[in-house]
């Protein structure tokens, strides 16, 4: 018996151990600003070595990395502020 040509093949299951968000959240909760800088350092170095047509793409990726570093830096500042407020609130009790 032939397969029905109108039926699309079933999609292959995605090889995944689960969402990456908990890992990112855990990293942000404990990372220092130096760790954030080193996270993107090797990527930034590799992008700097690209030549030719891929150099234009590398520039776009560098800008995206700069934005990600900026956002992570802001998150770290907010985390530090919240921790300082929490400590002062405990001290006032």
pTM of the model: 0.62
Within-domain flag for 80: yes
What was the pLDDT predicted at 7? 57
Residue 18 to residue 71: CA distance in whole angstroms: 24
Residue 36's CB: how many other CB atoms inside 10 A?
19
Structure tokens at 93: 């009790």
What was the pLDDT predicted at 67? 93
Do the beta carbons of residue 33 and residue 80 sit within 8 Å? Answer: no
List CB contacts of 32: < 8 A, sequence separation 6 or more. Answer: 76
Residue 38 to residue 92: CA distance in whole angstroms: 37
Within-domain flag for 20: no
Within-domain flag for 7: no
Total domain count, the chain:
1
Within-domain flag for 43: yes
Domain limits for position 57: 33-92
Do the beta carbons of residue 28 and residue 79 sit within 8 Å? Answer: yes
Within-domain flag for 13: no
Within-domain flag for 88: yes
As averages over each run of 10 residues, the pLDDT of the chain (93 residues) reads 55 53 77 81 85 88 90 88 90 72
Question: What is the CA angle 15-18-21, rounded to 5?
Answer: 130
Within-domain flag for 1: no
Within-domain flag for 39: yes
């Amino acid at each position: 018996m032939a397969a029905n040509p109108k039926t699309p093949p079933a999609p292959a299951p995605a090889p995944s151990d689960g969402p990456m968000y908990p890992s990112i959240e855990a990293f942000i909760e404990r990372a220092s600003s130096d760790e954030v800088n080193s996270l993107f350092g090797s990527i930034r170095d590799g992008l700097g070595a690209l030549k030719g047509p891929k150099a234009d793409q590398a520039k776009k990726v560098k800008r995206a990395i700069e934005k990600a570093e900026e956002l992570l830096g802001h998150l770290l500042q907010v985390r530090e502020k919240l921790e300082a407020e929490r400590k002062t609130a405990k001290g006032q009790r």
